[in-house]
Amino acid sequence: MAEESKVTLYGYSPCPFGKRVEMALKLKGVPYEYVEEDLTNNSQMLLSLNPVHKKVPVLVHNGKPIAQSLVILEYIDETWKNGPQLLPKDPYKRAQVRFWASFVQQQLFESMLKEFKTKGETQEEASKELFEKLKLLEEGLKSFYFDSDRSIDTEHVGLLDLVFVSVFGSYHKVQEEVLSVKTIDPEKSPLIHSWLTALLDLPVVKETLPPVEKMVAHIKFFRQRFYLPQLNDP
Residues that bind another protein (CB under 8 A): 52, 61, 64, 66-68, 70-72, 74-75, 78-79, 91-92, 94-96, 98-99, 102-103, 136, 139-140
What is the DSSP track for 9-71? EEE-TT-HHHHHHHHHHHHHT---EEEE--GGG--HHHHHH-TTT--S-EEEETTEEEESHHH
Residue 142 or 206: which CB sits closer to another protein? 142
100-111 b/e (C-beta count within 10 Å ≥ 16 → b): bbebbbebbbeb
Q: How far is the CB of 91 from another protein (least distance, A)?
A: 4
Residue 133 or 218: which CB sits closer to another protein? 133
Q: How far is the CB of 74 from another protein (least distance, A)?
A: 7
Angle among Cα 174, 180, 184 to the nearest 5 degrees reads 65
Q: How far is the CB of 143 from another protein (least distance, A)?
A: 9
Q: How far is the CB of 178 from another protein (least distance, A)?
A: 28
Residue 102 or 154: which CB sits closer to another protein? 102
C-beta of residue 20 within 8 angstroms of C-beta of residue 73? yes
C-beta of residue 191 within 8 angstroms of C-beta of residue 141? yes
Residue 77 or 173: which CB sits closer to another protein? 77
- Which residues on adjacent β-strands are paired with residue 64? 61
Radius of gyration of the chain (CA): 18
C-beta of residue 66 within 8 angstroms of C-beta of residue 72? yes
Q: How far is the CB of 3 from another protein (least distance, A)?
A: 14
Residue 90 or 187: which CB sits closer to another protein? 90
- Residue 58 exposed, middle or buried by CB count within 10 Å (0-12, 13-18, 19+): buried
Q: How far is the CB of 214 from another protein (least distance, A)?
A: 29
In the chain, what is the straight-line distance between the N-terminal and C-terminal CA atoms, in Å?
A: 67
Residue 80 or 171: which CB sits closer to another protein? 80
What are residue 168's phi and psi, to 5 degrees?
Answer: -95, -20
